[in-house]
Structure 1
């Protein structure tokens, strides 16, 4: 039976999990569901939904938990979003949009229950200290099974790595904009709402490398605790198949 180390699992699975999560969150169907609920902008649904697990908080808490978005954009869209139905209901609607997207787009993914079982082990075993957005999503109820449960767990895993990486970039000495510019660059910074002249951060790229190393090590520790070597190989293979189905 094939086996993988925890580090190999990070390399094989994490980018696919990130990208699959990005697809459903940015998909026109998800935006349409937000509009049906009365959210004035797709980002209002995104922030009230994704950040709604944090509860009835000031936008500053959401800015801190999400990390790299421009603070002014977060505050504007969070306030607009929670005005529709509140934070906790926003999170419930966002989770339902995730489940509905999976039912619509992943109905033919035959390995959904098995991948959800393995993903659930990782989610349950992950350390949540210092990771409020991950902790909030892990506490949310899951669909009973099938693609809906799987995609919700993929979303939680994405929040896990993202939250760990936010901690790691801070530990490496990178501010939010610096973390973006040393990684995905100017185009991503514009997407995340940064409109002013962007600084040259090439001299900080070694800090980004350090942050990625910290992130990979902490996530690998989670895979090491939660899954056997054979389960890690199976998990990575099923994530690869999920990526083929979605991406």
Structure 2
């Protein structure tokens, strides 16, 4: 199997984990699951479901935890979503959607789940409210549902680290988005009106990415041995091929 450094592991695995999470959250089957459980608006389902682990908080808290979404999008979607059944129940129903999607789309890989859970347990939650909130939720008993949930945890972990990093280098949310993406990405995240040219911020955005990689690697270093890191990256790659094509 060989060995991998912690930094090699984060660069091999983290993007795939991100993309698997995006796949299930944006899938029409997830939207249909939300509608079946009382959420007529898939975006209200998304914001209340993903952020319901924060509890009964004001929308400004959710905006701060998410980071890159426009407040004008988050605020009405959060309020609409939590009005369905409350924040914690929204999170519970979102976890069910994650589990059901995983059973249909994610391979059953107990070893990947075991290694991923080692990483989750080793991660420091300070400054990472969404990750910490999801980590406090109960895990499915096993199989693809559990693995999908754990991969979601790792995605929230990396996302939280990246928000810490972009903030640390002095980028506000919109600058962080536009320094690395075309304007269409900012529109997707709810930003309206005239968008600034953020090309001058590209070096700071690259610095934030490097900081995120280092923070992630620190956890891989203490959670997994070099051979386990190589195994983990290989299994994540296989899961990515199965799920993403």
Which band: TM-score by shorter chain? over 0.9
Q: Which residue of 2 aligns with 1:174?
A: 171
Within a 5 Å distance, the mapping from 1:43-192 to structure 2 comes to 43-106=43-106, 109-110=107-108, 112-192=109-189
The superposition leaves residues 178-228 of structure 1 with CA deviations (integer Å, 9 ceiling, x where unpaired) of 000011221110100001110001111111011001100000001001000
Hey, what's the Cα distance between the residues in 2 that align with 1:9 and 1:185?
A: 28
1:207 to 2:204 alignment: yes
Hey, what's the Cα distance between the residues in 2 that align with 1:105 and 1:213?
A: 32
Gap runs ≥5 in structure 2: none
Gap runs ≥5 in structure 1: none
Number of matched residues? 244
SS of residue paired to 1:39:
coil
Q: Which runs of 4+ in 1 moved over 4 A?
A: none
Within a 5 Å distance, the mapping from 1:190-229 to structure 2 comes to 190-229=187-226
Hey, what's the Cα distance between the residues in 1 that align with 2:193 and 2:39?
A: 27
Hey, what's the Cα distance between the residues in 2 that align with 1:197 and 1:38?
A: 35
Contact map agreement 1:17 1:239 (CA 8 A) in 2: yes
Which of 233, 236, 239 aligns to 1:236? It is 233
Hey, what's the Cα distance between the residues in 1 that align with 2:193 and 2:132?
A: 33
Q: Give the Å deviation of 1:105.
A: 1.8
Structure 2 length-normalised TM: 0.98
Hey, what's the Cα distance between the residues in 1 that align with 2:145 and 2:181?
A: 30
SS of residue paired to 1:232:
helix
C-alpha RMSD of matched pairs (Å) = 0.7
